[in-house]
């Protein structure tokens, strides 16, 4: 539960708060450029504090810290208002590539991000480390879902670029925030359907045959 609260809090700070602050600053008469830059500075503060304290973090905390600092760095790159509006697309695309690349490495990002939230809960199995080492189908499930998330995020990034360069500037921040929610909901539904079809919540599924065989022996 604590992990879910942390994730929700970081999402609000990293996504919802900058959007709300943008419209407050615009209502005060500030330019689009300043109204985009100030929220990036504000949202980067938690990440900077975390780095200065060298506070131990899990995969999710590390990801959100990296994204907040990344948003600040992208915002400081010289460019016009349209480039600033499209900055989220850069970070989203990088994340998408990261998800896809992790599928060929050690532990896929979907595994790392999901494990702290559901391991041993809500009919998910416990002792994922053992399952990872023993069950090829378990490993394959996470590798495939990481690719699915990567593709979904790249599509999301493409939509952000088109929106940033074609829509009225003041409509883009709200749309970007809504797009985050839509992408997260759609991808969670798609991947959870995939997980269910793989049998991850069914102890009798073929996924766990290697574990059952070793136990029987």
* Matching residue, tokens 């559901």: 118
- For helices 87-102 and 59-76, angle between their N-to-C axes, nearest 10 degrees: 140
Strand, helix or coil for residue 76: helix
Q: Long-range pairs for 7-13 at CB < 8 Å and ≥24 separation?
A: 7/60, 7/64, 7/117, 10/46, 10/60, 10/61, 10/64, 11/64, 13/43, 13/46, 13/68
Please state the domain count of the chain.
2
Q: Which of 30, 52, 78 is the last residue of a domain?
A: 78
Q: What is the dihedral of CA 117, 122, 128, 134, to 10 degrees?
A: -150
If asked whether residues 101 and 66 sit together in one domain, one would say: no
Angle between helix axes 109-118 and 136-166 (nearest 10 degrees) is: 100
Token pair 């970007």 in the structure block, residue: 176
101 and 186 in a common domain: yes
The number of helix segments (H) and strand segments (E) in the chain equals 11, 0
Tell me the C-alpha distance between 34 and 100, whole Å: 34
Helix axes 136-166, 87-102, angle to 10 degrees: 160
Say yes or no: 93 and 16 in one domain: no
> What CA–CA distance (Å, rounded) separates 9 from 78?
30
pLDDT tens across 75-97, in order?
A: 666 667 888 888 888 888 989 99
User: To the nearest whole percent, how much of the chain has pLDDT over 90?
Assistant: 47
Domain-ending residue, one of 50, 78, 106: 78
pLDDT digits (tens, 9 = 90+) for 88-137: 888 889 899 999 999 988 899 999 989 988 999 888 999 999 999 999 99
Do 123 and 156 share a domain, yes or no? Answer: yes
Among 35, 63, 78, residue at a domain's last position: 78
Considering the domain architecture, whether residues 44 and 88 belong to the same structural domain is answered as: no
152 with 62, same domain: the answer is no
- Rounded mean pLDDT, 140-158: 97
| Structural domain that includes position 161 | 82-217
Residues 140, 105, single domain; the answer is: yes
**Taking all residues of the chain, what is their mean pLDDT, rounded to a whole number?**
83
Cα–Cα distance list, 64 to 33, 41, 44, 47, 95 (Å): 24, 15, 10, 8, 11
Distance from the Cα of residue 214 to its chain's centroid: 36
State pLDDT tens for residues 187-199: 999 999 999 999 9
């Amino acid at each position: 539960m604590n992990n879910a609260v942390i994730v929700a809090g970081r999402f609000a700070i990293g996504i919802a708060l900058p959007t709300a602050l943008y419209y407050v600053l615009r209502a005060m008469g500030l330019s689009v450029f300043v109204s985009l830059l100030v929220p990036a500075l504000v949202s980067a503060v938690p990440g900077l504090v975390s780095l200065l304290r060298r506070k131990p973090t899990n995969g999710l905390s590390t990801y959100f810290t990296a994204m907040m600092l990344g948003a600040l760095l992208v915002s400081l790159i010289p460019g016009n208002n349209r480039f600033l509006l499209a900055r989220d697309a850069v970070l989203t695309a990088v994340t998408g590539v990261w998800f896809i690349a992790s599928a060929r490495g050690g532990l896929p990002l979907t595994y790392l991000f999901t494990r702290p939230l559901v391991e041993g809960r809500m009919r998910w199995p416990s002792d994922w480390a053992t399952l990872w080492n023993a069950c090829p189908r378990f490993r394959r499930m996470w590798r495939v879902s990481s690719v699915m998330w990567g593709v979904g995020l790249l599509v999301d990034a493409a939509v952000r670029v088109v929106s940033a360069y074609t829509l009225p500037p003041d409509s883009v921040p709200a749309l970007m925030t809504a797009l985050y929610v839509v992408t997260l909901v759609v991808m969670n539904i798609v991947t959870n359907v995939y997980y269910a079809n793989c049998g991850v919540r069914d102890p009798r599924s073929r996924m766990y045959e290697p574990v059952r065989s070793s136990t029987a022996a």
